[in-house]
Amino acid sequence: MLAISELKKVYPTGAKALNNVSFTVDQPQVIAIIGPSGAGKSTLIRCINRLVEPTSGKVLLDDIDIVSLSRRELRKARRRMGMIFQEYNLVDRLTVMENLLSGRLGYVSFWRAYSRKFPPKDVVAAFKLLDRVGLEGYQGTRADALSGGQRQRVGIARALMQAPDLLLVDEPTASLDPKTSRQIMRLLVELVQERGTPALVNIHDVALAQSFSDRIIGLTTGEIVFDGTSDQVTEDVLTEIYGEEDWSQTIRKGDDDNSPPTDKKSSKDNGYVREAVAG
Amino acid sequence: MTVIEHAEKYPEIWRRFSPRMTLIRYVWYVAIVAVATWSISNLDLPWFYFLDAHVQALDLVTRMWPPELEFWETLALPLLETIHIATLGTIFTLIIAFPVAFLAARNTTFNTATWFIGRLILVTSRSVNTVVWGLFFVAMFGPGPLAGIWAIAFRSIGFMGKLVAEAIEEIDEGIVEAIDATGASRLQVLWYGILPQVLPVIYGTTIYRWDINIRESTVLGFVGAGGIGILLYSSINQFQWREVSLILLTVFGVVMVSEFVSAMVRKRIS
Amino acid sequence: MNTSPEPAAAIAPRWHRIRMIEHPALRYGLFALAVIYVFWSMGALDLNWHRISNGIPRAGNMFARMIPPDFSRWSLLVKGILESVQMALAASFFGMILAVPLGLCGAANLVPKPVYLVARALIILSRTFHEIIIAIFFVKIFGFGPLAGVLTLIVASTSFISKMIAEDIENMTPGQLEAVRATGASFPKLLIYCISPNTLPRYLGVSIYRLDANIRHSTVVGIVGAGGIGQVLAATFSRYDYDFSLAILITIVSLVFLGEFFSSWVRGHLR
């Protein structure tokens, strides 16, 4: 699905943000990328859809090298990659529905986008996604009237509107409280399983990463120093990634708690067909 | 779920604005276009002029280059005069605008009548352009920089007075109350409670207006109120384009400098 | 109750004792400099009480001739005002339209550097020179009359509004742009879906404000023959028809006042 090969990013100042990063993703899984600030996590994620231009290397999405695409082809390729941001990055003055539909901007004509007359199937998909992330009824609310957790749900839904082949998630929970963080991570994991879409997730909270991901990649000063399952993350591994520290408290011990979600009864089906809900 | 329930729950159409709101928006669009069309209807648009306007413009530019450097000797004194007019005018404004601002601020004025008078003074001052004030004062005092200084001052009162009045209205009343509660006189309340809070605004506005006034002073000479404007007008009328370009360059330079100074000082204040 | 000489210090918070300019020498020095400057410049300009006192009887004379204001020639007045209003409307409309491309090009986070620099240079150039100078040029090219005035005001409006647009775009949170780009949207769609919602309210507000400002400025360009009520006004001054001048001035002030009312009403509705 995704193959990164010898990705390098060097800034004009000479700073090496990414140095020969290579890894592959060949099954739908949640991959957490951990590492200290400045390690290049953000840069890595953004190099994949070329919001940051890599200096050299290859990014193969199903055998298409993203790095070598022209601007027009890049736009087409970006449609296949849904991105979720730390600061949610919704267009504040637009409604939730318009923000969701903006995920389809790569697919509709200019006039449809201007008049906001999107194709019916997009609108139906938007309503369904709204339901799935637990924001039923919020379609007409302006984005800046939502709480942080709600905004991130909209951000997730927007990324999913693209029906992407890959999810790029940049620190989705850094601006959220611990409870909401877990809800959001749980939602992400469920969606990855339902849709079979792999997700690359930058996280700085190691315990959170361990609880919710199938695979962890550790990045330090632009290089991958660890690539394995969350069980394999030992204190030594963390020292290698972050440096000397008392890591005993950071590593997850045992199972995560099963706190129920607050604002919606989460649907456990695949999200597209709903049983008629009584009442 | 039945098909109908499905369609109700997941509609195919979504509109941000109700039909009524959309209609209102379209009415506004049409109205604006209609008004715009009416506004140019009385203009005698010589379309043929526009065709070779670029040729004319290029011709003009070639005639203006290179600037007539020897003209600088004639320039220097009026240029200085321009700067004096702007600066003196701004200083005089400061003296008058502050009391007027007081009258125009709801929380410091004496009664509704004084508030209205204060507001009226500010609006009148702002509605009339500096150059028009210049006409007025030239008629009153005769041509020369005196008229220019008054013109600058009278226009600036409205500008500065409005901003300072707004600042006065936004002060923290608690501090004023605290001083009032000690039994201080009205003047002391003013000095210790209100003034320190609005002083940054006063300084900032003064230097901001001074910068604008430099620009205004450059053209006051057109109506005889002193400064470099008179030279510019005469050079243009005599088609001495190379002198004109020197004057324009000088004006450009002076305005740039004053903007720079103004921005620097305002940054230090805030 | 404390009645010591410095009551404020005991009760009010400390900040009010902190002066704007801390150093006393600097503070008094600047003040002294200002006073010295005033006297020096007044001398340089040959202003003295003699000239000012000579002016007072002239001023009195002028006031006497001004009052009462003469509205008898109201048809001329109305014609001039109408022309000014038309000029202001036309300039605002076309200024709004032209400001969009110029403003977009003036945003550093949106366009390549050379485009940005050219746009910014144009904006700065047109704002440096007073509109009366621009008016004179247009009069020279297009002759006397409102056309020169409209063109002048279009230049003034465009540069003003485009500066606002450019600043607004540069102040946008960059993440929004990133997010919309990441969906694969092209530049035009980026404009209408991300930039427009963010800048539209202020753009409209500034344009409405500019309408009001254009009415004021239309009075000025008339002085050099570019049409509008200013032309009528200048004529009255040169013919010593001061009572008509006052009538015109009163009308202008009322018009601007109304315009401000209208403008704040519309801007209130835009919230």
Q: How high is the ipTM of this complex?
A: 0.81
Task: Collect the ranges in chain B with pLDDT lower than 70.
Answer: 1, 44-49, 270
What's residue A279's pLDDT? 31
**CATH superfamily, domain at C78-270:** MetI-like (1.10.3720.10)
Least confident range from A249-253, B256-260, C42-46, C156-160: namely A249-253
What's residue A277's pLDDT? 33
What's residue C105's pLDDT? 93
Which chain B residues are within 8 Å of A275, Cβ to Cβ?
1
What's residue C9's pLDDT? 47
Q: Which residue of A has its CA nearest to C184?
A: A75
For residues C46-69, average pLDDT: 78
CB contact under 8 A, C147 and B46: yes
Single-letter residue type at C191: L
Q: Is residue A162 within 8 angstroms of chain C, CB to CB? A: yes
The average confidence (pLDDT) of chain C is 84
Q: Are strands A166-170 and A199-202 parallel, antiparallel or unpaired?
A: parallel
Among residues 48-87 of chain B, which lie with CB inside 8 Å of chain A? none
What's residue A252's pLDDT? 61
Q: Which of C41, C86, C129 sits opposite B88 (nearest CB)?
A: C41
Q: Is residue C194 within 8 angstroms of chain A, CB to CB? A: yes
Residue appearing with tokens 């209208």: C262
What's residue B241's pLDDT? 86
Q: Is residue A151 within 8 angstroms of chain C, CB to CB? A: no
What's residue B168's pLDDT? 87
What's residue A256's pLDDT? 46
Alpha helices by DSSP H, listed for chain C, are: 7-11, 24-44, 49-66, 74-105, 113-128, 131-142, 146-170, 174-182, 187-190, 196-221, 229-238, 242-270
Measure the CA angle with vertex B242, ends B240 and B244; round to 5°.
70
Q: What strand order describes the sheet that includes A215-220?
A: A81-84, A166-170, A199-202, A30-34, A215-220, A223-228
What's residue B159's pLDDT? 92
Q: Is residue C214 within 8 angstroms of chain B, CB to CB? A: no
Q: Which residue of A has its CA nearest to B7?
A: A124
pLDDT score of C11 more than 70: no
Please give the Cα distance from B132 to B136 (Å, whole number).
6
What's residue C138's pLDDT? 86
| Domain locations along chain C | 78-270
Please give the Cα distance from B27 to B33 (Å, whole number).
10
Residue (of A47, A43, A46, A49) closest to A57 by Cα position: A47
Among residues 72-91 of chain A, which lie with CB inside 8 Å of chain C? 75-79, 81-83, 85, 87-91
| Domain locations along chain B | 3-43, 74-269
What's residue C21's pLDDT? 59
Q: What CA–CA distances, in Å, run from A119 to A39, A124, C189?
A: 42, 9, 16
Please give the Cα distance from A181 to A171 (Å, whole number).
10
Q: Which structure tokens are listed for C25?
A: 């020498």
Please give the Cα distance from A124 to A271 (Å, whole number).
13
For residues C260-267, average pLDDT: 81
The burial of B192, by beta-carbon neighbours within 10 Å (0-12 exposed, 13-18 middle, 19 or more buried), is given as buried
Q: Which residue of C has its CA nearest to B44?
A: C147
Which chain C residues are within 8 Å of B126, Cβ to Cβ?
216, 256
Per the CB < 8 A criterion, the answer to whether C131 and C220 are in contact is yes
pLDDT score of C154 more than 90: yes
Per the CB < 8 A criterion, the answer to whether A8 and A178 are in contact is no
Q: Which residue of A has its CA nearest to B17?
A: A140
pLDDT score of C120 more than 50: yes
CATH class of the region B74-269: mainly alpha
Task: Collect the ranges in chain A with pLDDT lower than 50.
Answer: 254-279
What's residue B1's pLDDT? 66
CB contact under 8 A, B16 and A95: yes
Please give the Cα distance from C45 to B144 (Å, whole number).
9
Q: Which structure tokens are listed for A136?
A: 């039923």
Residue (of B86, B68, B88) closest to B231 by Cα position: B68
Please give the Cα distance from B108 to A268 (Å, whole number).
64
> Which H or E element spans position B238?
none
CB contact under 8 A, C178 and A85: yes
Please give the Cα distance from B54 to B67 (Å, whole number).
21
Which chain B residues are within 8 Å of C220, Cβ to Cβ?
129, 131-132
What's residue A11's pLDDT? 86
Q: Is residue B266 within 8 angstroms of chain C, CB to CB? A: no
Task: Tell me how close the Cα of C175 comes to any Cα of chain B, in angstroms.
Answer: 24
What's residue B193's pLDDT? 78
Interface chains of chain C (3 or more CB pairs under 8 Å): A, B
Which chain A residues are within 8 Å of B12, Cβ to Cβ?
120-121, 123-124
Q: Are strands A215-220 and A199-202 parallel, antiparallel or unpaired?
A: unpaired
DSSP annotation of A8? E
Single-letter residue type at C21: I
DSSP annotation of A256? P
